[in-house]
Amino acid sequence: MRLREKIFRIFRDYTEPAGGGQVNAPASDHYSVTAPGNDGRIVLGGEVEIFPAKPLEAFASFETRAFEARDLREGKPLLAMTAGRSRCPRISAVGSYQAIKTPHLLKLLTAGITEWPSETKQVYVFVFDMPPARRLLPLGAARTVRISDDRIVAALIQPAVSVLEELQSIDMVHGAITADNIFMAGGEGSEVAILGECLSSAPFFRHSAVFETIERAMAQPGGRGTGTVKNDLYALGICVAMTLRGGNPLVGKSNEEIIREKIENGSYGALIGSERLPAYLSEFLRGVLHDDESARWGLDDALRWLEGRRLSAKQPHNNMKARRPFVFRDRKYWDLRSLAMSLAAHISDTVGLIEKDNIDLWLKRNFEDRDLEARLETFWKKEDGAMRERVVAELSQVLDPYAPVRFKDLAVFPDGFGTALADAMARGEDVQHYAELISLQLFNGWVNQRYEEIPDASGIVTLFEKCRNFLAQKMPGYGIERVVYLLNKEIVCLSPQLRDYYILGPGHLLLALERLAQRGQRLEPILDRHMIAFISVRDPKMIDPYLGHIISHDRGYQIIGVLRALSAIQRRFRIQPVPALARILLAQMEPAVNRFYDRDLRQEVARRLATAGDGGNLNNLLEIVDSAAVVQDDQMRFAQARREFAFLMRERAGLEQQLSRRSTFGLASGRQVAMLVSSVLGAASVILTVLYHYLWS
């Protein structure tokens, strides 16, 4: 709990006013962001010192870099690892990971965002205990650490399974169990395994094909999905098999060759071959390496085996093979999985086969499988007139329903789609194929073929239908940008303007905009499509009520909507004043000021804005330019002025109509005046006459 409490303390110190006054600006510009010292060193959380000038290449992988660090209290060496954005590091699991108390998992001391010296950008850093020097399979070595058969359970299997049990209790998988990420503590003959870290990338992202099951190895690394403890046990089984054989028997083979080897001989056969193992170890490996997921061991099976119980033998996976091979691109295929994989990789050749009906005839002659026949019948009904990439994708699903969805150059499972999309988008790749895959509803077909076997199958279909609807909406806040944040909760904001910032939430985003404004960067628009979608998914209350204004074609309404959203974020997270951003907003405020009808009011509003802008309090700006009472009064007075104007215009029109008849203009009025005057004079005469006779008679 120490890391969680520390994060809360940092957040409180940053957001709460000192002594109940104005929130003071911290030393850095984002929550819990640490700036390097003048000498380039970074002190993270007041407990750890990181040395960016001292890399540790032996611990680096993918976009993850490693550096020396030191515990300031005890002086012991530590390992600092910076995580690449595209690998979707598991930041949300930091607190849960540190809460695990086991000596067999690399300990996390602290983590946080820091400004990396010399790069002028922010990175996320994890700081771990320094791992032991020995790995199960040293880097660049052909042979594993030697562990005798009678020691391997206590030295490797028992520690790893205990870690997986701890992880399962917090609903987490390890997802990075590989032979080079297992460290051996203790001397020879008394060694014990310590599993390496798993936070710097998405689960199973760093695995090569040898550590993945057949179907998951077919997917691209980011498209494998979160996996389960069974996948961790499978990877552990691979490591145990390598240890028993003294090395990796599949070394030097490509991913495709490894997959074909496992299809042909089964995972157990591909790793063990003809090697004779003690019966109890053979039982464990056959259980965790079983190629049928429903028959593969789970954690409860592994724990019962460790208790000494002998489990019932599981039959090896029966891979259906044809009586006669199918020849495709000068290669013979006997099984459906290998053929489906090859067909998906060669779209043009596959389309030619479909048109000739060669493959349909071969399938009918060689496989008597009712499920396959039903899938084929459905496929042929939908095939006519469909785009060729879709036809090939659906055919490969028919032949191998357990494989990932393969469309063009993609190979992803539904629960891995979000990570794969985030990875591609973070690296600046074209994501059109991802959008097409959703629009074509290819995941629906994948789910429907295995509906009874997939937990929450209807939920998956509903989720991707929602994504398809988002893609159909072109307005800001929707489209592919919303899809990536909806399907991946770990990815930071991927706005091109924020590529140098590690944005984990709306508060971080606001302060990044302030930093950009301080640097004089042009912010037009202030909130782009990525930012709007990111805020809307992460904290809808901060922007959804104002989306109608933000996406309006009226520039005045747009800037008011942006100001409302940013002001809401500043209030919600109690963020320090942002004067530089306020000045940029003021420069774009003219259309909003011009919304007022009263010229004097416009001048007054502009004057007050100029005065309030230097304070950097966006709520003050909003009250000036978007006060409900002022706006309503202005509108009421304008409505009254319009009514008066309309009355005057009607009167003018009447006069103009009368003037158009000059020959008779004024006659009617003259007659009326003459009549009135004569009436008055007549009445006066009568009164005077009566008075005369009355007074003088």
User: What average pLDDT does range 284-295 have in this prediction?
Assistant: 93
Q: Which residue has the tokens 């005890």?
A: 74
> CA of 538: how far to CAs of 407, 486, 504, 516, 534, in Å?
30, 8, 9, 22, 6
The residues, any chain, with a CB within 8 Å of residue 321's CB and separated by 6 or more, are 334, 335
Query: Which residue intervals of the chain bear CATH 1.10.510.10?
Result: 132-314
* Residues in CB range of 207: below 8 A, 6 or more apart: 175, 176, 178, 221, 224, 235
Enter the CATH code of domain 1-130. 3.30.200.20
Q: What is the mean pLDDT of the chain?
A: 87
- Which of 1.20.80.30, 1.10.3720.10, 1.10.510.10, 3.40.50.10470 would CATH assign to domain 132-314? 1.10.510.10
pTM: 0.86
In angstroms, the CA 343 to CA 324 distance is: 18
Average pLDDT over residues 569-579: 92
Phi/psi zone of residue 19: left (φ > 0), alpha (ψ -120 to 50 degrees), beta? Answer: left
Percentage of the chain lying above the pLDDT 90 cut:
60
pLDDT of amino acid 26: 32
pLDDT score at 31: 53
Q: Are 398 and 405 in contact (CB under 8 A)?
A: no
Mean pLDDT of the 56-65 span: 88
Enumerate the CATH 3.30.200.20 domain ranges in the chain, comma separated: 1-130
Report how far Cα 295 is from the mean position of its chain's Cα atoms. 33
Q: How are beta strands 182-185 and 134-135 bridged, if at all?
A: antiparallel
CA 501 to the chain's CA centroid: 15
**What are the tens digits of pLDDT across the range 635-645?**
888 888 888 88
Token reading at 206: 């760093």
- Check: CB of residue 588 under 8 Å from CB of residue 559: yes
pLDDT above 70 covers a percentage of the chain that reads: 93
Query: What does the pLDDT look like over 334-391, one tens digit per residue?
Result: 999 999 999 999 998 888 888 777 788 888 888 888 888 888 888 887 777 678 899 9
Question: Residue range 45-62: average pLDDT?
Answer: 90
State yes or no: cis peptide before 55, omega within 30 of 0. Answer: no
Q: State pLDDT tens for residues 492-541.
A: 999 999 999 999 999 999 999 999 999 888 888 899 999 999 999 999 99
* Predicted pLDDT of residue 344: 92
Q: Which residue has the higher pLDDT, 653 or 68?
A: 68
Rg, Å, the chain Cα set = 37
Distances (CA, A) of 652 to 639, 643, 655: 20, 14, 5
Q: What pLDDT sits at residue 25?
A: 33
Which tens digits make up the pLDDT trace of 403-450?
999 999 999 999 999 999 999 999 999 999 999 999 999 999 999 888
Secondary structure (H, E, C), 371-411: HHHHHHHHHHHHHCCCCHHHHHHHHHHHHCCCCCEEECCEE
Predicted local confidence at residue 662, as pLDDT = 64
In this predicted structure, the answer to whether residue 317 has a pLDDT above a threshold of 70 is no
Average pLDDT score over residue span 578-607: 89
